[in-house]
Amino acid sequence: MAEFRFDIKPLFPLEIIKVTSNLLPHTFRGDRRQCLDATSKMSEVIDRLGQLSAVSQGLNKPVTTAQRLRMSENQTIYLLSDTSYGANGVVMGLLKVGTKDLYLFDEQGRTRKVEQTPSILDFYIHESRQRGGLGKHLFEYMLTDQNWTPVKCSIDRPSEKLLNFFKKHYGLVRTIPQANNFVLYEGFFDEEASMGNGNGKSPAQSNGGMHITSSPNTQLFGAAYLGDEANKRSGRNNGSQQPNPLLHQITQISPSGRYGAPRPTCSMAEVLRHYNYSPSSFEMKGVPPQLP
Residue 48 within binding range of ligand COA, rule CB under 6 A:
no
Using the CB atoms, write b or e for 255-268: b if 16+ within 10 Å. bbbeebeebeeebb
* Residues contacting 5, CB < 8 A, separation 6+: 88
Residue 163-182 contact track with ligand COA, rule CB under 6 A, x = bound? -xx--x--------------
Residues 60 and 165: their CA atoms lie apart, in Å, by: 23
Residues 121 and 99: their CA atoms lie apart, in Å, by: 9
> Taking every pair of C-alpha atoms in the chain, what is the biggest distance, in angstroms?
76
Residue 256 within binding range of ligand COA, rule CB under 6 A:
no
Residue 12-41 contact track with ligand COA, rule CB under 6 A, x = bound? ------------------------------
Please identify which residue in 11, 57, 81, 99 interacts with ligand COA, judged by CB under 6 A.
57
At 75, is the secondary structure helix, strand, or coil? strand
Q: How far is the CB of 179 from ligand COA (least distance, A)?
A: 19
Is 192 within any annotated ligand binding site? no
Please identify which residue in 78, 124, 188, 221 interacts with ligand COA, judged by CB under 6 A.
124
Give the number of residues written for the chain: 292
Could you report how far apart the first and last alpha carbons of the chain are, in Å?
50
Segment interacting with ligand COA, rule: CB under 6 A, options 2-10, 124-132, 179-187, 223-231: 124-132
Residues 111 and 50: their CA atoms lie apart, in Å, by: 33
Segment interacting with ligand COA, rule: CB under 6 A, options 30-38, 119-127, 170-178, 259-267: 119-127
Chain residues 140-159 in contact with ligand COA, contact rule CB under 6 A? 158-159
Interacting residue ranges for ligand COA, rule: CB under 6 A: 53, 56-57, 123-125, 130-136, 158-159, 161-162, 164-165, 168
Annotated binding site for acetyl-CoA: 123-136
